[in-house]
């Protein structure tokens, strides 16, 4: 879905991501499923739902906070932490060996910009 307003696309993707992680949490309970399995499910099912088309997003600070919060909700449950445990987001991601979504988003965006620049040079866009 290409949205004129980036907020609409970001909101839809984030809602679908939350729905997907909610289903994963309900079906694959933290107590009965290995962390490794939950992380693989996260990487193959939940992340693509959020990151599809994210190369063209303009991420505002409020969007970044919401994305990080949604990501950490799933990762904390996977690690076995509650919101009252004193663990930073970085500690949780490091323990689970997960690259934060915002870092992946920036990497995708850089890769996309590089691709566009190379294509532009090949067809001589500048003149």
Q: What pLDDT shows up at residue 113? A: 81
Residue range 9-21, pLDDT digits in tens: 888 889 999 999 9
Q: What pLDDT shows up at residue 31? A: 80
Cβ–Cβ < 8 Å for 57, 67: no
Judged by phi (left if over 0) then psi (alpha if -120 to 50, else beta), residue 33 lies in beta
Closest CA relative to residue 54, chosen from 105, 12, 4: 105
Q: What pLDDT shows up at residue 3? A: 45
Q: What pLDDT shows up at residue 94? A: 92
- The first and second tokens of residue 63, run together, are 């969007």
Could you tell me the mean pLDDT of each successive run of 10 residues in the chain, 127 residues long?
60 90 88 89 91 83 91 91 87 92 88 79 65
Q: How do the domains of the chain map onto residue ranges? A: 6-122
Q: What is the largest CA-CA distance in the chain?
A: 61
Residue range 89-113, pLDDT digits in tens: 899 999 999 999 999 988 888 888 8
d(CA 44, CA 28): 14
d(CA 118, CA 122): 6
d(CA 21, CA 26): 9
Closest CA relative to residue 7, chosen from 82, 59, 65, 80: 59
Q: What pLDDT shows up at residue 1? A: 45
Q: Taking the CA of residue 24 as centre, how many other CA atoms within 13 Å lie in the half-sphere pointing to its CB?
A: 26
């Amino acid at each position: 879905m290409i949205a004129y307003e980036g907020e609409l696309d970001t909101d839809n993707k984030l809602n679908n991501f939350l729905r997907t992680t909610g289903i994963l949490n309900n079906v694959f309970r933290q107590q009965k499923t290995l962390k490794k399995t939950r992380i693989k499910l996260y990487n193959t099912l939940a992340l693509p739902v959020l990151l599809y088309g994210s190369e063209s997003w303009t991420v505002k600070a409020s969007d970044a906070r919401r994305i990080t919060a949604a990501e950490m909700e799933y990762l904390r449950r996977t690690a076995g932490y509650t919101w009252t445990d004193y663990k930073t987001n970085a500690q949780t991601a490091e323990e689970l060996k997960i690259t934060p979504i915002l870092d992946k988003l920036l990497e995708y965006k850089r890769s996309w910009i590089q691709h566009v620049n190379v294509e532009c040079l090949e067809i001589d866009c500048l003149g």
